[in-house]
A = this chain, B = another copy of it.
Amino acid sequence: MPAPKTRWKRRKEARPQELTAAALELFVERGFAATRLDEIAARAGVSKGTLYLYFESKEDLFKAVIREGLLPLLAEGEELMASMPGSASELFRAIVLRWWEIVGEGPIGGIPKLIFAEARNFPEIARFYADEVIERGKRLFVAVFQRGIDSGEFRPFDPQALVHIVISPLIMRVIWKHSLDCCGVTNVPIDAYLREYLDLTLRGLRRDPA
Contact = CB atoms under 8 A, between A and B. Distances in A.
Interface size bucket, A side? 35 or more
A183 interface: yes
Nearest to A130: B185
Contact of A168 (B130, B172, B185, B203): B172
Interface string A190-210: 001100110111011100010
Interface string A153-170: 000011011101110110
Contacts of A180: 115-116, 119, 126, 130
A45 interface: no
Contacts of A130: 180, 183, 185
Nearest to A33: B33
A123 B193 contact: no
Contacts of A168: 168-169, 171-173
A117 B120 CA distance: 12
- Determine chain A's interface SS by DSSP, over half rule: helix
A162 B31 contact: no
Contacts of A33: 31, 33-34
Given A164-B169, A165-B196, A34 B121 contact: yes
A187 interface: yes
A88 to B, nearest CB: 15
A19 to B, nearest CB: 22
A183 B127 contact: yes
Contacts of A164: 169, 172-173, 176, 187-188, 193
- Which 8 residue pairs across A and B have the least CB separation, nearest first? A117-B117, A204-B204, A119-B179, A168-B169, A168-B172, A200-B204, A123-B183, A126-B183
